[in-house]
Amino acid sequence: MISDLAPVIEAILLAADKPLSVERLGQVFDEHDGVDSKRIKNTLRDLKKTYGGRGYELVEVASGFRFQVCQDYALWVSRLWEEKPHKYSKALLETLSIIAYQQPITRGEIEAIRGVGVSSSIIHTMIDRLWIRSVGHKEVPGRPELFATTKDFLDHFNLKQLSDLPALDELVSWDEATMAPAKLKHPQQQEIEVVTEPIH
């Protein structure tokens, strides 16, 4: 029987190379450890409070829980690496935003909202980054592919679920020549559930 679960959970999360769900954490323990999902959840909640005000924090994203550097200190931490972070074009970020808020959506529908074409390289870049994936085809002539975001997208942007996306009125206004926020709506969890293929 493990009397103090907190340091065990802490060690597991620090050793993991990706976020871990409560279910996955539970698989680490056997019947003699006296650990169930309720105890894991309570321990995670207590750990989140413990790390308040420090340089790193315990956060919950779509795939589970992980330790990460607080965003407030990312500027200084990033200087440890000579390689600069990827810079993405405005067109890519606009396209990704449209998919996030309107999913599932076809390429043609994205182009209708942006008012310009979407290059194949933009779609391929987002697929390569595992931010979006094809989730089927729309039942219209030509059966175009439907795109939706992935758990990797949520993890990358520190989101637990799609409803955690910022409200549209909180976003910086887009250039009227490319995309008007009025054309978008905030995603609701039930909208994504209509997709027949699971989003990983």
The domain that holds 12 is classified in CATH as 1.10.10.10
Instruction: Let me know whether 64 and 133 are in one domain.
Output: no
Domain closes at, from 72, 101, 124? 72
Give domain status of residue 197, yes or no.
no
Give domain status of residue 84, yes or no.
no
> Which of 46-55, 61-70, 91-100, 138-147 has the lowest average pLDDT?
46-55
Domain, as residue range, for 119 = 90-192
**Average pLDDT of span 19-44:** 95
Instruction: Let me know whether 187 and 97 are in one domain.
Output: yes
pTM of the entire predicted model: 0.69
Query: pLDDT category, 84, cuts 50, 70, 90?
Result: low
CA-CA distance, 38 to 20, in Å (whole number)?
15
Query: pLDDT category, 169, cuts 50, 70, 90?
Result: low
Chain position carrying tokens 């894991």: 40
Q: Which one, of 156, 154, 153, 144, lies nearest residue 111 by Cα?
A: 144
Instruction: Let me know whether 113 and 163 are in one domain.
Output: yes
Cβ–Cβ contacts within 10 Å for residue 100, how many? 21
Query: pLDDT category, 81, cuts 50, 70, 90?
Result: confident
CA-CA distance, 135 to 103, in Å (whole number)?
10
Instruction: Let me know whether 123 and 65 are in one domain.
Output: no
Query: pLDDT category, 192, cuts 50, 70, 90?
Result: very low
**Average pLDDT of span 88-108:** 92
State residue 78's pLDDT score.
82
Cβ–Cβ contacts within 10 Å for residue 106, how many? 18
State residue 178's pLDDT score.
41
Instruction: Let me know whether 66 and 102 are in one domain.
Output: no
CA-CA distance, 158 to 16, in Å (whole number)?
17
Instruction: Let me know whether 67 and 17 are in one domain.
Output: yes
Instruction: Let me know whether 106 and 162 are in one domain.
Output: yes
Number of domains in the chain: 2
Is the pLDDT at 28 greater than 80? The verdict is yes
State residue 193's pLDDT score.
37
State residue 175's pLDDT score.
44
Instruction: Let me know whether 120 and 171 are in one domain.
Output: yes
Instruction: Let me know whether 95 and 174 are in one domain.
Output: yes
Give domain status of residue 140, yes or no.
yes
State residue 191's pLDDT score.
40
